[in-house]
Amino acid sequence: LSTRATQILSALDIPTKGEIPGVYDGRWKGSGDIFESKCPSTGEVLARVQSATPRELEESIRASREAFKVFRTVPAPQRGEILRQIREAIAKYRKELGALVSLEMGKIRTEGEGEVQEFVDICDYAVGLSRMMNGRVVSSERLGHSILEVPNPLGVLAVLSAFNFPVAVYGWNLALSLAAGNATLWKPSPSTPLCSIAITKLVSDVLTRNGIPGAVAGLVIGGKHVGEAVVQSTDVDMVSFTGSENTGRQVAKVVQGRFGKVLLELGGNNASIVMPDADLSMALPSVFFGSIGTAGQRCTSTRRLYLHKSIADTFLERLQGMYAKLQPGDPLVSSTLLGPLHTQQAVALYENAIADLRSGGAELLCGGSRYVGGNSPLADHLLGGNFVQPAITIPRSSSPHEADLWKKEVFAPILNVAIFDELEQAIEWNNAVPQGLSSSLWTRDIRNVGRWIGPEGSDTGIVNVNVGTSGAEIGAAFGGNKSTGWGRESGGDAWKQYVRWSACTINFSDAAPLAQGVDFST
Ligand code: NAD
């Protein structure tokens, strides 16, 4: 283990010697392939983690089912009390967990801690929810009858998550799933195993203290094959999948093929539109954060920027000025704003996208290369990291109707810019891509706001005004439309997906009439 990893893991009471078990179903184990956790900022191997064998996965799923049978009978407010304790345990280690996210995923410190705070926030939310997961009473047309709509625990929820939010996405799912009375089995990204081990350790300590089986919050570390086996299992009632559109498409087919429940949170290709009346002193830093934050590796990152022709030159000049001052650095140092990409493969994707833009005649206003060699501003210990220069480009074609490059999510800090005349045109461009996650309009004119959030407006799941595309709060349902998968997680009515609903008609009369007046008397 590296020294930095050892320090952080020791603080979290996680073994730091040898290979770390990556499977938990009430007991820690793992005798499958070894996965390396690699630090994106230095390239060093942080730890070696043991994944699940097919047999261990089977055991884990079985343990989850058994744990569900116990947990479903625990009254919901008591489940809320357990959630409150989990909230305390996570909050106590906010700094250490945030540092671990920075070390292993590569996002900067404040974003790492922000992600842990999201876990804390959703636990708070779910504590309240545990006393408010109400069904309802529906009027019956029959005398002496009542109809109840009843939510009950659903079963086993598998959470398959992406590398870029190695803590928060699980938090959103676990909190609602625990409140709902389910057992949850987590299959995290294999490139962020330490974050998932640390979280599972803290959660399992709370469960154990409360006499709840550990497999209520199980963990199986593994790659594609483990993911496929989880998705295929008929013992998994619901799959909550966060990841790329390609993988999501395969997962959806498999789960729907066996009539399981599936919740999809897939890629985004998010646009910000800046109107002539926008307050640029607000819009500029928000677009800057939206495109650079997490080095462009948020599902809500700003990838498209539509500028009104009257402010386009000023806006771009000022934005370029902000980009020019940006220095890449160690994500663990609090002044760093630009961390690395997560993997070498991500760097290759970035380089391919820049090459495609160049060959398609795009103008590159800044960025476009990786930081390498002696003349890069990187400190010596970061030279093995995956650092790239954020790019602003003006593609030759301005409309997604004309060029495919606008339609893909490239998971890297590349901001494509186009200039528009009328809001209608910008909204049409905003909506003309397959994805539908987040979008943002900058204006002070209430008429623009009405159009933007109404039936002729943005078609994304998150539709912001004078707020960037990135950085949602947990209170509202989070998710996207179209190829982003239509899933909703976190707040709002998202909890309703984590339970099984029954309509119960109860007859407390002395007759048994049929509905709709049907007469079947003999
Ligand atoms: P990915 O699709 O490569 O992997 C996601 C998860 O699926 C991982 O745990 C992976 O091991 C697993 N997996 C891979 N192949 C599988 C298969 N055939 N069957 C079952 N599981 C399989 O995604 P990634 O590169 O880790 O994450 C980046 C993507 O996630 C981006 O597209 C980003 O937009 C998206 N994302 C979306 C949201 C959202 O809320 N909409 C949030 C975060 C990330």
| CB-ligand 1 contact for 303 (6 Å cutoff) | no
- Which residues have CB under 8 Å from 34's CB, separation 6+? 19, 48, 49, 50, 51
Q: Which atom of ligand 1 is found nearest the CA of 299?
A: 34
* Structure tokens, 437: 């996650």
Model ipTM value: 0.98
Q: Tell me whether residue 299 is one of the annotated catalytic residues.
A: yes
Indicate which residue of 111, 115, 299, 409 is catalytic: 299
Q: Assign 430 a pLDDT band (cuts: 50, 70, 90).
A: very high
pLDDT digits (tens, 9 = 90+) for 81-139: 999 999 999 999 999 999 999 999 999 999 999 999 999 999 999 999 999 999 999 99
| Ligand 1 close to Cβ of residue 165 (< 6 A) | yes
CA of 52 to the centre of ligand 1 (A): 19
Determine if ligand 1 sits within 6 Å of the CB of residue 342.
Answer: no
Cα 165 to ligand 1 centroid, rounded to whole Å: 10
Tell me how far the alpha carbon of residue 162 lies from the centroid of ligand 1, in angstroms: 4
The Å distance, Cα 247 to ligand 1 centre, comes to: 6
Tokens of 504: 């119960």
Ligand 1: residue of 164, 253, 345, 386 to mutate (most ligand atoms within 8 A of CB) is 164
| CA distances for 397 relative to 32, 193, 313, 390, 433, angstroms | 49, 41, 18, 21, 14
pLDDT on residue 1? 55
Does residue 130's CB lie within 6 angstroms of at least one atom of ligand 1?
A: no
Cβ of 461 less than 6 Å from ligand 1: no
Query: Model confidence over 49-71: pLDDT tens digits?
Result: 999 999 999 999 999 999 999 99
Cβ(163) to ligand 1 under 6 A?
yes
**Which residue's alpha carbon is nearest to atom 41 within ligand 1?**
265
Q: Is 268 near ligand 1, meaning CB less than 6 Å away?
A: yes
Determine whether the shortest distance from the Cβ of 20 to ligand 1 is under 6 A: no
**Cα-based torsion angle of the residue sequence 467, 470, 473, 474 in order, rounded to the nearest 10 degrees:** 150
Cα torsion angle, 308, 310, 314, 316, sign: positive
Q: Which atom of ligand 1 is nearest to the CA of 254?
A: 19
Residue 375 has what pLDDT?
A: 67
Is the C-alpha dihedral spanning 104, 107, 109, 113 positive or negative? negative
> What band does 16 get if pLDDT is binned at 50, 70 and 90?
confident
Cα–Cα distance between 315 and 324 in angstroms, integer? 14
From the list 104, 111, 265, 409, the catalytic residue is 265
- Alpha-carbon distance of 441 to 46, in angstroms, equals 41
pLDDT averaged over the chain? 96
**DSSP 8-state assignment for residue 278:** S
CB 286 within 8 A of CB 471: no
d(Cα 95, Cα 488) in Å, to the nearest integer? 28
pLDDT in tens, 393-412: 999 987 777 888 999 999 99
Which pLDDT score, from 0 to 100, does residue 171 have? 98
Element (H, E) at 147: strand 145-153
Residue 18 scores a pLDDT above 90 = no
Q: How many CA atoms lie within 13 A of 249 on its CB side?
A: 5
**Which atom of ligand 1 is least distant from the CA of 163?**
26
Regarding the beta carbon of 227 and ligand 1, being less than 6 Å apart is answered yes
237 pLDDT more than 80: yes
Q: How far apart are CA 221 and CA 305, in angstroms?
A: 38
More confident residue, 366 or 375: 366
Confidence at residue 400, expressed as pLDDT on a 0 to 100 scale: 77
18 burial type by CB count under 10 A (0-12 exposed, 13-18 middle, 19+ buried) = exposed
For ligand 1, the distance from its centroid to the CA atom of residue 87, given in whole angstroms, is: 26
Q: Does the reported pTM lie above 0.90?
A: yes
pLDDT at 195 over 70: yes
Concerning whether 265 is annotated as a catalytic residue, the answer is: yes
Q: What is the pLDDT of residues 136-180, one digit of tens each?
A: 999 999 999 999 999 999 999 999 999 999 999 999 999 999 999
Q: Give the residue-averaged pLDDT of 367-396.
A: 90
Is the pLDDT at 3 greater than 80? The verdict is no
**3-class DSSP state of 238:** strand
pLDDT at 399: 79
